[in-house]
Structure 1
Amino acid sequence: MAASTGPIIAIGAITMANRSVFNDEPVDWKVPVGTAMAALLFAGAERAVGQTMVRLAYLALITIVFARVDPKVPSPAESALSWFEKR
């Protein structure tokens, strides 16, 4: 397994959990399919480019935590903040 695969799969898992578990939106099956495709592309590009793709995967992971993928669904950071405020 390539070094960039872990962060890419984490991106998909965070997106799915944020969308369906924390915000009660229906499961968007494009997310796991896109995650699998991105993991394959990053693994292939990692062979050609090297550590740059690993760094890009971690940058994407950090970005997905703070950015909204869908305008009507809060980002994972916003969801966590509202969950902690309720407690």
Structure 2
Amino acid sequence: MAASTGPVLAIGALTMANRSVFNDEPVDWKVPIATAITAVLFAGAERAVGRTAVTLAYVALVTVVFARVDPKVPSPAESALRWFNER
């Protein structure tokens, strides 16, 4: 398995969980399909550019945690903050 596969799969899992579990939105089936395609593309990119693809995957993971992917759904960091404040 390529080194960039873990961060890419984490991006997909975070997006799906944040959207459907924490914010009661319907499941968007484009996310797991796009995640699988992206994981394959990043594995190929690792062969071409090496460590740069892995770094880009981790930058994308941090971005997804703090930025909104869908404008109407809060980011995972916002959802976690809301959950902590409700307790």
- Shared fold, TM over 0.5: yes
Q: Deviations over 1:3-50 (max 9, x none)?
A: 000000000000000000000000000000000000000000100100
Q: Write the distance in 2 (CA, Å) between the matches of 1:70 and 1:10.
A: 17
Residue in 2 that maps onto 1:27: 27
Q: Which segments of structure 1 move beyond 3 Å, counting only runs of 4 or more?
A: none
* Amino acid in structure 1 at the alignment position of 2:33: V
Question: Aligned-pair distance for 1:76?
Answer: 0.3
Percent of paired sites with the same residue = 80
Residue segments in structure 1 that go unaligned for 5+ positions in a row: none
Residue in 1 that maps onto 2:13: 13
Corresponding residue SS for 1:80:
helix
Residue in 2 that maps onto 1:83: 83
Residue segments in structure 2 that go unaligned for 5+ positions in a row: none
Corresponding residue SS for 2:27:
coil
Corresponding residue SS for 2:9:
helix
Alignment length, in residue pairs? 87
TM-score, structure 1 as length reference: 0.99
TM-score, structure 2 as length reference: 0.99
Q: Write the distance in 1 (CA, Å) between the matches of 2:56 and 2:70.
A: 21
RMSD after superposition: 0.3
* Amino acid in structure 1 at the alignment position of 2:80: A
